């Protein structure tokens, strides 16, 4: 009885040809669709950090209904509570001091709102190739959170992903680095220091 061993390489060749044909497929549409989908099953994560603006050289502040990017490092209004899904990169950003949410209205203006349940207060986190983060409105596709060099908000329709105005860097507030120290494991060396005393001869 002959085994059809040559059949396996033929299959593999067919698979390679199939993937080669699909090489130019743009998966960005699939990623965009998955990113927009809310994940109501996974546990939400809450993080505290600042968002450093690449253009103003300062941090985003949620000053009640007013939003700016003029906050110094450690400023109480620059400390943001960010609720994120474990999948989907969708976040709601709230000022820790004011309890107001960062939102974008239908005119593309950045505003603070006391209630963050609206989709206008949901943003899609995008990590860019230059390691900066951009925040795109989940409701108004293509509109980003952005600021001028003077720290004034830019309107969503005037923003683009490749503009420095929409690039941010996450930074922990002063003093939080000490709180988030990595867990220290007990090393083998420390455990081996416990030596039983030898009996006197």
CATH of the domain at 50: 2.80.10.50
The answer to whether position 20 is within a domain reads no
The answer to whether position 68 is within a domain reads yes
pLDDT tens string 157-170: 999 999 999 999 99
What is the pLDDT confidence band of residue 183, given thresholds at 50, 70 and 90?
very low
pLDDT tens string 56-81: 999 999 999 999 999 999 999 999 99
The answer to whether position 183 is within a domain reads no
For the chain, the average pLDDT equals 79
Asked if pLDDT for residue 5 goes beyond 70, the answer is no
Q: Are 53 and 43 in contact (CB under 8 A)?
A: no
* Cα–Cα distance for residue pair 182/185, rounded to 1 Å: 9
The answer to whether position 24 is within a domain reads no
What is the pLDDT confidence band of residue 174, given thresholds at 50, 70 and 90?
confident
Residue 35 is predicted with a pLDDT of 45
pLDDT tens string 8-45: 455 555 554 554 455 555 555 544 554 445 555 555 78
The answer to whether position 62 is within a domain reads yes
* Cα–Cα distance for residue pair 186/192, rounded to 1 Å: 11
What is the pLDDT confidence band of residue 112, given thresholds at 50, 70 and 90?
very high
Residue 134 is predicted with a pLDDT of 97
* Cα–Cα distance for residue pair 96/82, rounded to 1 Å: 9
The answer to whether position 10 is within a domain reads no
| Domain that includes residue 153, residue range | 32-177
Number of domains making up the chain: 1
The answer to whether position 197 is within a domain reads no
CB atoms within 10 A of CB 143: 22
* Cα–Cα distance for residue pair 108/139, rounded to 1 Å: 11
Q: Are 51 and 170 in contact (CB under 8 A)?
A: yes
Residue 45 is predicted with a pLDDT of 85
Q: What is the mean pLDDT of residues 129-150?
A: 96
The answer to whether position 6 is within a domain reads no
Residue 74 is predicted with a pLDDT of 92
- pTM recorded for the entire structure: 0.68
């Amino acid at each position: 009885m002959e085994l059809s061993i040559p059949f396996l390489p033929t299959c593999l060749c067919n698979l390679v040809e199939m993937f080669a044909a699909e090489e130019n497929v743009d998966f960005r549409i699939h990623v965009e669709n998955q990113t927009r989908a809310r994940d109501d099953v996974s546990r939400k994560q809450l993080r505290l950090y600042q968002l450093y603006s690449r253009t103003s050289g300062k941090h985003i502040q949620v000053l009640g209904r007013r939003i700016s990017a003029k906050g110094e490092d450690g400023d109480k209004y620059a400390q943001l509570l960010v609720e994120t899904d474990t999948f989907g990169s969708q976040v709601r950003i709230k000022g820790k001091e004011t309890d107001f949410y960062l939102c974008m209205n239908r005119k593309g203006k950045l505003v603070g709102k006391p209630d963050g349940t609206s989709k206008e207060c949901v943003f899609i986190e995008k990590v860019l190739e230059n390691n900066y983060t951009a925040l795109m409105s989940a409701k108004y596709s293509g509109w980003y959170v952005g600021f001028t060099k003077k720290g004034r908000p830019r309107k969503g329709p005037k923003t683009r992903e490749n503009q420095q105005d929409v690039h941010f860097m996450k930074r922990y507030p002063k003093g939080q680095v000490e709180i988030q120290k990595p867990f220290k494991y007990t090393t083998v060396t420390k455990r081996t220091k416990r030596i039983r005393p030898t009996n006197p001869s």
